[in-house]
Amino acid sequence: MNVNTCLALLLAAASLTATATADFTISSSRATKTATAKNAQYVKQWTLKAGAKTNVIDSIDLSLAGNAYVSYMEDLPGDVLGYVNVSGDSRDVVDAVTVSKDVSNELTNGIGNMLDINTNGGELNVVLANRAASGYLLTEIFLGDPATVHELKSQRSAQVVVEKGVLVTSNNHAEVEIDATGSSAVFVSDKEAAVSVRLLSFEAKGKGSIEYSVGSIAAST
């Protein structure tokens, strides 16, 4: 059997496995009106729960406007991977946000499990689906496990703040990638972090920008 044939069989088998086995699940509340803040008149929450093949979020893909914060939160319920909270000044802008998982990442996990590679992470996608939607928008992502995210991509115009405890900092086998496109800006700041990874990659396109400020960096490649 040649390599291509073997890979094709692995892909097919992994696809069946991914279909048969539930990955992490996403449930949401309805957008509700609140009087807690001037701009945050409507709020909505999504809950991310672990599945049979996914027990952490290790990749985040954002396509948003407004401000976004990604944070580590301690003491979440055992089966909860995290929460996505969205607030805005209108129901339309809040309802325009969609939260989903990447099916291709689920397929990759299936292949990894067959090859005995530890790939138990899932990719979270948060998108402002209606490009015509306008107004105040704040997106907050809370993750229940520390230092698990190795890939973060931001498109469009969001100003994204990645707080302490989110990104992988100490793993000699990890490849950490941050991408910013459009006019999005990504800010990472942890003055105490001693980052030691295999590869650290930044890519900014268009008017995108990345600011990565840590205590020290050691990358093998």
Paired tokens of 132: 């015509």
- Average of per-residue pLDDT across 38-53: 92
- Which residue has better confidence, 146 or 114? 146
Outline where 60-199 has alpha helix (H): 91-95, 103-114
Task: Let me know: does 101 contact 125? Beta carbons within 8 Å.
Answer: yes
The predicted structure's pLDDT at residue 1: 42
Cα(154)–Cα(63) distance, integer angstroms: 6
The predicted structure's pLDDT at residue 7: 35
Ranges 34-38, 168-172, 189-193: which has the least confidence = 34-38
Q: Which residue range forms the structural domain that includes residue 55?
A: 3-219
Paired tokens of 55: 């027990």
The predicted structure's pLDDT at residue 20: 34
The predicted structure's pLDDT at residue 119: 56
Residue 157 reports pLDDT greater than 60: yes
The model scores a pTM over 0.75:
yes
Mean pLDDT: which of 14-28, 43-57, 101-115 is highest?
Answer: 43-57
Residue 105 reports pLDDT greater than 90: no
Mean confidence (pLDDT) of the chain:
85
Tally the domains of the chain. Answer: 1
Chain centroid to Cα 158, Å, comes to 14
Confidence of residue 53 (pLDDT cuts 50, 70, 90): confident
